[in-house]
Amino acid sequence: MFIVVGDKRKSLEIIANLPKLGGKVKLTLSTGLALYGSENGNDKITEHTYGWSEHTYEWNVGDPALKKTMYVAGTSGSASVGDKRCTATWSGDSDSAVVTVVSVSIIPYTPITKYIGPMAIPEAQHQANGVGIRRNGDSDNGNAKVRDRAVSRVIPNENDLIKTVILLSPEGENGIKYVLHQENNSVAFWINQDKGSQYIIPPEGKRIISGGTLWAEWNTVRKDDSDERCRFLIEAFDANRSFSIKKEIVYRPFTSVTAAFVGENQTPGDPKGSPGMNDWVIEELRKGRDVHVWDDGFDAVYYGGFYGDCNKYGEGAAFNEICNAINNRGVTKVALVGYSHGGGSVYNQAWRMRYDGITSNDPRYRAPPQKIEKDYSLAFTSYVDAIQNSNSANFLSESRRPFKSEFHFNQYQTNKLGSMFLGGSQTKPLDEEGKYGGPTENFRPYLKTTHRSIMKDTDVQKNLSDNFEKRIPRHQEKK
């Protein structure tokens, strides 16, 4: 009465020679299977069913809901993979078939930063935006004349590779073949984060029988403004290719870098203990941008030669990261964002970038050797209730416009009484050189915010994201 055949699209087609006599038709599916009325899976059948571990569908013969052709596919979750049975019965007669449900996934992660480790990127995000990856053009290997992409040995401080997890189910030799493919050689894969052991995928693909973790490295130099990308995919199929499943991600090299500074006494990378800016950074990382969160910085020039993240001269780890991105990773756009004293750090950082290698007219500042070697634009800066950051006791509002910012977005509150008289103010339209660097947009949120709460306010974070995302690309777009 029932003939069960496999199709080519991850489902099982059930063709019923419907009986002309009366009675009931029952269809029982093992746990982890779902029933659909069409091959595209847009019309899941949920009525006419009962049971928990197995689902049994029941129709009267002649019921329009009893379709001549129906489809089954695996549901989400570990219980859905493996061998599953479909059984149909009518008037004492029965027929059944076993289908193997296969699951494959590629899970890319966010880039490594000083304070925030790799985080899985939601599938909707990386399918829409690609997977951001840094060009590995710096010299973590300790030899300034040799770029990391040219080194195959272990590099203890390597931090530019992207974690990529491959999941297969069922694993092993089970009649299903799993094959990895990559589109071109722009990406090299490694077994470990610090390189040392390369994982080579030949042009015809590499067959695997189990999942695991690979580390992806973008190993080419940026030559022009072309839209560079590398597809990485896994395909699962049986011996006769009666079905085929493909999952893919697309690596795309970053063309921007962002430095975000938390406020005084906040901990970078700790959204639980220091919410607000940390939450915003994590959101933007998962959206596919290269965003680094930093401490608001040390107030002295240095302590025993250690500069910290950003001192009052704009020197430190944040500036070094920006220089590295511009000089060695093909980055052409920079963004600076800061809350409270972190807003003051944005000004200090922009000042350092403006006077990189140049003697300033201000005798308070000193000019170290030039570090930024290539062209870039400071495409976006933002203050959130910014306070000047020359020292921890400075409570003055930061109203100075960051040097050479192409667009400055300033949010501040005026609830001084509820904020212990701390707060930002309107940003001046001209910088301290009297130059107009670009548009400045001042926005005062609702009076419900205070200095402590403003960066945690969802409207403030959304305003920041909307303006930031308009001006800071993840990677080079097609022209």
| 112, 95: one domain | no
Question: Do 387 and 263 fall within a single domain?
Answer: yes
Same domain, 224 and 192: yes
Same domain for 429 and 293: yes
Nearest CA among 438, 450, 308 for reference residue 381: 438
Domain tally for the chain?
3
Q: Residue 282: which H helix or E strand, with range? A: helix 277-286
Do 193 and 155 have their domain in common?
A: yes
User: What pLDDT, in 10s, does the model give residues 122-136?
Assistant: 999 999 999 999 999
> Which of 101, 125, 159 delimits the end of a domain?
101
Sign of CA dihedral 140, 230, 293, 322: positive
The whole-number pLDDT of residue 6 equals 38
**Tell me, what's the pLDDT at 7?**
36
Q: Which residue in 461, 467, 432 sits closest to 449, CA to CA?
A: 461
Which of these three, 253, 286, 319, is where a domain ends?
Answer: 253
- List the domain range (segments joined by +) for residue 37: 2-101
Q: Are residues 354 and 453 in the same domain?
A: yes
Is 311 part of any domain? yes
Please report whether residue 29 resides in a domain.
yes
- Greater pLDDT, 435 or 447: 435
Which residue from 280, 281, 341, 278 is spatially nearest to 308, judged by alpha carbons?
A: 341
User: d(Cα 363, Cα 274) in Å, to the nearest integer?
Assistant: 36
**Domain contains 452:** yes
Give the angle subtended at the CA of 442 by the CAs of 440 and 445, to the nearest 5°.
155
Specify if 477 maps to a domain: no
Q: Give the H/E segment covering residue 325.
A: helix 317-328
Q: Do the domain assignments include residue 210?
A: yes
Do 163 and 220 share a domain, yes or no?
yes
Q: Is the same domain home to 109 and 231? A: yes
> How do residues 78-118 score in pLDDT, each as one tens digit?
556 778 888 888 877 888 888 778 888 999 999 999 999 99
Are 289 and 311 members of one domain?
yes
Domain at 390, CATH number? 3.40.50.1820
Q: What is the CATH number of the domain that holds 248?
A: 2.60.40
Q: What pLDDT band is residue 300 in, cutting at 50, 70 and 90?
A: very low
Q: In the structure encoding, which two tokens stand for residue 303, read together?
A: 């302590």
Residue 476 resides in a domain: no
Do 21 and 146 fall into the same domain? no
Domain match, 207 and 220 both? yes
Question: Which pLDDT tens digit goes with each residue over 375-429?
Answer: 999 999 999 999 999 888 888 999 999 999 999 999 999 886 655 678 899 999 8
- Any long-range contacts for 99-103 (C-beta under 8 Å, 24+ apart)? 99/6, 99/12, 99/33, 99/72, 100/170, 100/174, 100/175, 100/176, 100/238, 101/32, 101/33, 101/73, 101/74, 102/10, 102/74, 102/169, 102/170, 102/176, 102/236, 102/245, 103/74, 103/167, 103/168, 103/169
What is the tens place of the pLDDT at every residue in 154-170?
999 899 999 999 999 88
256, 335 contact by CB (below 8 A) = yes
Q: Is residue 478 part of a domain?
A: no
Domain end among 76, 101, 126 = 101
**Claim to verify: residue 280 and residue 260 sit in the same structural domain:** yes
